[in-house]
Structure 1
C-alpha cells in the first residue's frame, strides 16, 4: 500500500433545497460525482433561477452555514455534504421572494365575450352543443327550483323559532352546545 487515505461513501446524497425566490423546501437526490456546474443546471428547473446567476451555500443537517460552493469545476462530493444537508440557492439577478408566483406580471391573452361566442373550437361552444353545465336549461331550472324549495323550508323552520326558545347548536368538529334564542334576524 502507498499509505494514502481511502474514503468510502454513498455515491449519491439526499439534500434539501431552498431558494431566495421561494419559501418552500424541496428534497432531491444527486450523484456526488457531478460537478457544481452540472448541479446548477439541474437546479435551474427546480428553483427557477438560471445557472449563470446562482450562488450556492451548504448548510449542515442542523442548519448551520458551512461554506459557499463557488468552484463550478469541483465535484459535489468534494464538499462537506451529507444526507439531509441543505443547499441554498441565491439568485444574483435580484429576484424577490414570491416573484415566481406573481401572475400579475404574466402577459395574458384576453378575448371579449362576443368574439368568444363566435368561436366554434371553444369549451363554451362544446358545452352548448352537448347541453351540459350552464347550457342545460332543464338541469339549471331544476337546480333553481330545488334552491327555492330549500330556501322556503329554511324560512318556514326559522319562522317556527321564537325569541326565548331553547336550542341546540351543532357545529362539525365541536361539541354540541345548548342555548336560548335571544333575537331573530331575517334576510
Structure 2
C-alpha cells in the first residue's frame, strides 16, 4: 500500500485526504498550507490514532523523511498546529466569541417588511396557507437519501466528480416547483451558497460549498474525498 487515507485537522479546518507514503514531510507541508492556511514554516504536525484520542503517536519533525518512515496508517489524524498564530490569525476565523451578536426582538422582526416571515404571510405559504389548500396537498414522497451520507452529484463534465455530504432533505421555499430537494455540502468550493437561500437557512457550511439539487441527481454511496490536483498550478 503506497497511499493512505487520513483526516487533516487544524484550528480552522477539517477534511479527509489521501496521500502517497513516498511524499516527504516538506512536500506534505506545501499541500497542507493550501488546505489549512498555515504557512509551511509555522506548521507542527502530530499524528493521532483518532480525533477522540488527543495523544500524539508521533510528530512529523524531519522535513526530509517520507511519510512511510513514520508508519502512517489509514484513518489516522494529521493534527496541524500553528506555532505562530499571532501572525497568521489562525483560529480567529472560527472564534465567534469575539463577534458582537446581533439580536432582534420578535416584535421588531414582525414589523420588518423584508423578512421570510412577511414573504410567507403575503404569499400564504406554510402555516399561513389556507387550511383547505393544506388539506388538499399531497403527502411528500419518501426519499431514501439519509442525511450525513456521502454522495456524488451528477455533472455535465465526465472528469469532474462533485462529491460531498448530504446535509438536508425536504421541501423548500425558494422554488416555484413543489417537491423534495437535497442540500449537499461539497468537499470543494463548487457550490452556490452556504446552505441558505433568500435569507432562509436549511443547513450550514462555508460559502460556495452548498448546493440544492433534485434527488434524482444525487447518488449515495462510498465516495471518498478526492484531492484536487494542484501540481500544475504550483509549477
Structure showing the higher strand proportion among its residues: 2
Structure with larger RCO (C-alpha < 8 A, sep 6+): 1
Structure showing the higher helix proportion among its residues: 1
Larger gyration radius, structure 1 or structure 2? 1
Give TM-score scaled by structure 2 length: 0.37
Give TM-score scaled by structure 1 length: 0.46
